[in-house]
Amino acid sequence: LSDRLSGIFSKLKSKGRLTDADIDATAREIRLALLEADVALPVVKDFISRLKERARGAEVSKALNPAQQVIKIVHEELVATLGGEARRLQFAKTPPTVIMLAGLQGSGKTTLAGKLARWLKGQGHQPLLVACDLQRPNAVNQLQVLGGRAGVEVYAPQPGNGVGDPVSVARESIEHAKRQMRDIVIVDTAGRLGIDAEMMQQAADIRDAVDPDEVIFVIDAMIGQDAVSTAQAFRDGVGITGVVLSKLDGDARGGAALSVRHVTGQPIMFASTGEKLEDFDVFHPDRMASRILGMGDVLTLIEQAEAAFEDDQKERMAAKIMGGETFTLEDFLEQLQAVRRMGPIANVLAMMPGMGQMKDQLAEIDDKHFDKVTAIIRSMTPGERTNPKILNASRRVRIANGSGVTVTDVNQLLNRFADAQKMMKQMGGMMGMPGMRRKAT
Ligand code: GDP
Ligand code: MG
């Protein structure tokens, strides 16, 4: 039986390969999503053309509809573009390893310096923080406070010596680090609000003075379309070996990640996600890809759904329909519970075979409704669950009271269920099995 079933499903779902129309339609959506996420236009164009090429060759999956499948390819392609696995810091053969931070003012360099120091210390390193932003009056103090919190020494020009020269401070700090047996030196630098030749020259001079193993470009994820020009300027002005995206706790969709990756060709190594020192993580290309697409964990759901439903659920469900059994409220509840742990219910249900067509009804069942729906169905007698037709006004009032909802809630659920049941019958009919009508409902 199961062979025949999967045959039927593949006939319904599979057209062999994704059609150009499928791909174009989905690519249009993706293009909009990328632009909305502030990915720079040339980057979007390049990405879409690579996507189309790849999607054309793809076999149709049985478990996913064409749109879902293209989205899955998009996601994989984005993850690959964003760097696959996150890269680790490169350590110098002879310590100290020198990490220099560069970026616009306010991008989060000083904060990152503190975070990196804390993180590296936690891994058993002996970092030294170096204050080379002598432009802003408070910058040295800011680094000292962060260093204090991280429990890491801060090398800074001595107070009273007047405004020091950042290049000399940088050079001296390396000697200091060697004397103090520090194995990592993190050099914080000054930035300007815009790209500025003098600032870039200073950054380049500091670079030449410390000969860094890593030059990390820190960029605010909220920067939007300016990401490209800013990244280009730092790439050409100082050279970049790695990127850190900051302020990812904000609501930026993160298109800057893709743009910067495209422009610099360098890996995004870390994500900065708040003002506190612990708000910091290695960069996860897969999470970023989902964020850029604005789909939250839908993609994960697609993957989970593909794995979980392809064999088991799909066949059991289809067997039930084709076996002529009535789809009852009990089944409805069971299905809801089965998919509950997978995430947003409407999304998961919409992925179930046959359920995709019921998207509109399903969209109403969000997670907030789930507990309500569960309570309502649980307040019904087994007889009522199998045959909701017997639910007259007084029974509905009893159920509403029993589950702590209004009669309107009960009515809505029953209407929605009636639609679902109708759909199930049609599916049964479509498969040439009249069995759905065997039991009266
Ligand atoms: P710099 O000028 O590049 O050194 O930037 P700062 O490290 O001084 O950061 C500028 C401002 O952004 C400060 O108020 C920081 O607290 C804040 N900031 C830095 N990184 C983050 C982050 O990841 N998330 C949030 N919400 N704020 C951040
Ligand atoms: Mg700073």
pLDDT digits (tens, 9 = 90+) for 268-280: 999 999 999 999 9
Q: Does 341 have pLDDT greater than 60? A: no
Domains in the chain, ordered, with CATH? 2-81 (1.20.120.140), 97-291 (3.40.50.300), 298-437 (1.10.260.30)
In the prediction, which pLDDT does 87 show? Answer: 78
Give the range among 36-45, 253-262, 269-278, 302-311 with minimum mean pLDDT.
Answer: 302-311
Mean pLDDT of 338-348: 54
Bond before 96 cis per omega within 30 degrees: yes
In the prediction, which pLDDT does 137 show? Answer: 79
Mean pLDDT of 42-51: 91
- Give the pLDDT band (50/70/90) at residue 13: very low
Q: Does 164 show up as a binding residue in the annotation?
A: no
- Give the pLDDT band (50/70/90) at residue 307: low
Q: How far is the CA of 312 from the centre of ligand 1 (A)?
A: 49
Q: How far is the CA of 43 from the centre of ligand 2 (A)?
A: 29
Of 383 and 297, the one with more pLDDT = 383
In the prediction, which pLDDT does 88 show? Answer: 86
Q: Does 17 have pLDDT greater than 70? A: no
Going by C-alpha positions, the residue among 83, 171, 169, 172 that lies closest to residue 133 is: 169
Which helix (H) or strand (E) segment holds residue 185: the answer is: strand 184-189
Going by C-alpha positions, the residue among 336, 374, 242 that lies closest to residue 231 is: 242
ipTM above 0.95 for this complex? yes
Percent of all residues in the chain with a pLDDT value above 90, rounded to a whole number:
43
Number of residues assigned to the chain: 441
Q: Rounded CA gap, 316 and 325, in Å?
A: 12
Q: How many CB atoms sit inside 10 A of residue 347's CB?
A: 21
Of 296 and 50, the one with more pLDDT = 50
Q: Does 435 have pLDDT greater than 60? A: no
Pocket of ligand 1 (CB under 6 A): 103, 105-111, 191, 246-247, 249, 272-275, 279
